[in-house]
Amino acid sequence: MTAIAAARSEGQGATLAVARIGLIAAAIQLYLCLVGIVPIFDERPLIAGVLSLGEAAILITMFGAGYLAAQRAGEVTTWQAGVAGVGAGVLSGASLTLIVLVGSVVDLRAVFIHASPDLYDMLTRGLDLAGSWIPIAIGGIVGGVAGLVARSPARFRRPLLWALAMLVAFGLFAGLLRTPMLNNFLAGLARFLFAPEGLTLIGAAIVFVATFAIVVLEARLRVRRRAGELPAARRRQLQLPLLLLAIVIVLAFPIGFGSFFAQVIAVVAVYVLMGFGLNITLGLAGLLDLGFVAFFAVGAYTVALLTSTGEFGIAGWSWWAAVPFAVLFSMAFGAFLGLPILGIRGDYLAIATLGFGEIIAILARSDLLKPWLGGPQGITNVPKPIDVPPDSFLAGPNQIYYLAIAGAVIVAFVAMRLRSSRLGRAWMAIREDEDVAEALGVNLVQTKLLAYMLGAAFAGLGGALFAGLVGAMFPTSITLFVSINVVALLIVGGMGSNPGVVLGAIFLIGVPELFREFSEYRFLFYGIALIAMMVFRPEGLLPSRVTRRELHRPEELEATAPEDLTAAAGDMGGSEGSTDPAQEATR
């Protein structure tokens, strides 16, 4: 009796889990449709003539619901998992049917302007009320398939999920990839794979099959394991050509992809510079600075003042002569702002620095400084760093692209050197425990000021590049959002990690630039991305590795590390969890 009761209650638990996931998916779909994300995404084809991005968003939600439901259903057979998937999929699809049914009785547009006939047409495949069952059917099918996939062996599941993800990625970037390819010998291939927007059907098939095959092959050949087993010296030898290839690609980028891309990447690089700067102040020294844009502004205005040929220019120097001063002024400013807030810790520091950022923005806009900084009109006529004829390749954003990349490389180098020095260690010690660091002889005043100054220097360089890129400097560029962006890209990339800064900047600054048409929802996705990041990968995309210096070969370390010690250590490490994920050390 009890066994049956237990089984029944387990079954009930599974049903509940499926119902919950189905309802969550239903809520997400309602939101996506009524807020207008699906209708707008629907205008962008993913696979030309077959699937739009809007439809894909719905299908992905259904797939996710089915997949999760099968995972949460507990110990069940594959077919039961499929049934769980169908259940969750049907529930999520039912929300769309509900929109169609309600929409036929009441005019939802009074409240939700996006609940238009276009949306209903899309959901019912043009059948109107008669087709209101279609979302449920599609939900059931997609959910069921997802449920089965969730239970399939990894050697099949992994390539399939990768292939689907790649399909979406290539569909999204098709237009961007196609345009540059049309200009050279790849034009035929471009027309074959890509429609003007989205993939062609054949292109989609090729992307799907190719990704599937690559992932299968990678798993079969165990590329990663073999790479891991190689001796360090050999691994380095293999990395060198990859590095060279990466350099060539970076240098040739504007040639292949044109100046729009170059401009986007130049902006990304400016943020990378600021990210490196804040990585010192916040990532290493642990001093939260929400007014980081101030140093950027000082750098940009210094360059603008010293170089402008317009009415506010005071020197008419070249960009190159002005840059060192921009960096120096930013540093001085960093010290100037740093002094009064030396003794402030934690949350209070964030508020104080927030205030500084706003003060700078207001000053730049003010009538008080208008005779010098131009007030809201800003300073225009900032010459380009490299004076070339307007039709030359280096005119416009391309030269800033190269300068920004060069600047980022130099700054990355400086940041890396600083990180593994006496000063870098002192910064980290302050971040971890200020009092103890001081009792070990670390001069808090000096060390903190250096953190502010060097962070400011990097941001000032970013500002200098920005002024050169735009050819002007306006107070509208000094917004709180810049500061928040820099903090966010550090968090997304991985606090304290220099490669993380680059990746974070690409994701948070670069990718949104490429999806200008959805800019209305930029902050929505920004927020979702940040929350998802904090929940699923709080350490960031590329967390900093712990350097190994006591034992030269990590293999030896693993050999000497007993399992139980690692396990015990895991229990004790509970109190931290702010920045560095510690798993790296015990691997």
Partner 1 sequence: MALLTAKTVTKRFGGLVAVKTLDLVVEQGSIASVIGPNGAGKTTFFNCVSGFFRVDEGEIVFDGHPIHHLRPDKIAHLGIARTYQNIRLFPTMTALENILVGEHRHLHSTWMGAVVRTPAQRNEERRAVEEARRVLQFVGLAGRGDFLAGKLAYGDQRRLEIARALASKPRLLLLDEPTAGMNPVETEQLTAFIRRLRDELGITILLIEHEMRVVMGISERITVLDYGEKIAEGNPKEIQANARVIEAYLGHGAATGESGSGTPEGETTSGATT
**Residues at the interface with partner 1 (CB under 8 A):** 413-414, 417-418, 421-426, 428-429, 432-433, 435-444, 450, 454, 546-551, 554, 557, 560-561, 565-566, 568-570, 572-573, 575-576, 578-580, 582, 585-586
Q: CA dihedral in degrees (290, 266, 297, 376; nearest 10)?
A: -110
Token pair, residue 550, equals 């006591």
To the nearest whole angstrom, how small is the minimum distance from the Cβ of residue 289 to partner 1?
18
CA angle 286, 287, 288 (to 5 degrees): 105
Q: What are phi and psi of 393, to 5 degrees?
A: -65, -35
To the nearest whole angstrom, how small is the minimum distance from the Cβ of residue 559 to partner 1?
10
**Angstrom distance (rounded) from CA 316 to CA 175:** 42
Contact 271, 337 (CB under 8 A): no
Token pair, residue 349, equals 């520091």
To the nearest whole angstrom, how small is the minimum distance from the Cβ of residue 587 to partner 1?
11
Contact 475, 298 (CB under 8 A): no
Pick between residue 442 and residue 492 the one whose CB is nearest to partner 1.
442
Q: Distances in Å between the alpha carbon of 307 and those of 139, 301, 316, 467, 475?
A: 61, 10, 4, 10, 17
To the nearest whole angstrom, how small is the minimum distance from the Cβ of residue 439 to partner 1?
5
Question: 456: closest CA among 338, 319, 321, 285?
Answer: 338
Pick between residue 236 and residue 548 the one whose CB is nearest to partner 1.
548
Pick between residue 377 and residue 566 the one whose CB is nearest to partner 1.
566
Pick between residue 118 and residue 555 the one whose CB is nearest to partner 1.
555
DSSP 508: I
To the nearest whole angstrom, how small is the minimum distance from the Cβ of residue 458 to partner 1?
12
Pick between residue 12 and residue 443 the one whose CB is nearest to partner 1.
443
**Angstrom distance (rounded) from CA 378 to CA 130:** 60
**Angstrom distance (rounded) from CA 510 to CA 554:** 36
Pick between residue 253 and residue 295 the one whose CB is nearest to partner 1.
295
To the nearest whole angstrom, how small is the minimum distance from the Cβ of residue 299 to partner 1?
19
**Angstrom distance (rounded) from CA 555 to CA 375:** 61
Which burial class, exposed, middle or buried, applies to 285 when counting CB atoms under 10 A from its CB (0-12, 13-18, 19+)? buried
To the nearest whole angstrom, how small is the minimum distance from the Cβ of residue 502 to partner 1?
19
Pick between residue 399 and residue 579 the one whose CB is nearest to partner 1.
579
To the nearest whole angstrom, how small is the minimum distance from the Cβ of residue 582 to partner 1?
5
Pick between residue 54 and residue 277 the one whose CB is nearest to partner 1.
277
CA angle 421, 425, 428 (to 5 degrees): 140
Token pair, residue 68, equals 């999760």
- N-to-C CA span, the chain: 47
